[in-house]
Amino acid sequence: MEKVSDILESIPYLLKMPSKWVDYDDEADVLYISFKKPQQANDSIMEDDIVFHYHNDDLVGLTILHAKGRD
């Protein structure tokens, strides 16, 4: 699994990045990151308010809760 600390350090940059791969819900303060479209995730694991989405063994996306509070 990816190091959570590495992901957390990148959040301020991801919030500023306009992309079809990154979406931010300001009202809910949730950051969605897709590494594959469509994700077709069939498993998810939550750690430290980050949901790791997997398709089999491949990480296909992240959902980061309370994203702005982490920068």
Query: Is the predicted pLDDT of residue 29 greater than 90, yes or no?
Result: yes
Contact 51, 45 (CB under 8 A): yes
Report if pTM > 0.75.
no
- When pLDDT is averaged across residues 4-20 and rounded to a whole number, the result is 72
Give the model's confidence band at 10: pLDDT under 50 very low, under 70 low, under 90 confident, else very high: confident
* Angle at the Cα of 69 from the Cα atoms of 22 and 71, rounded to 5 degrees: 70
Structure confidence at residue 3 (pLDDT) = 72
Structure confidence at residue 17 (pLDDT) = 62
Structure confidence at residue 62 (pLDDT) = 92
Domain count, the chain: 1
Range of the domain at 50: 4-70
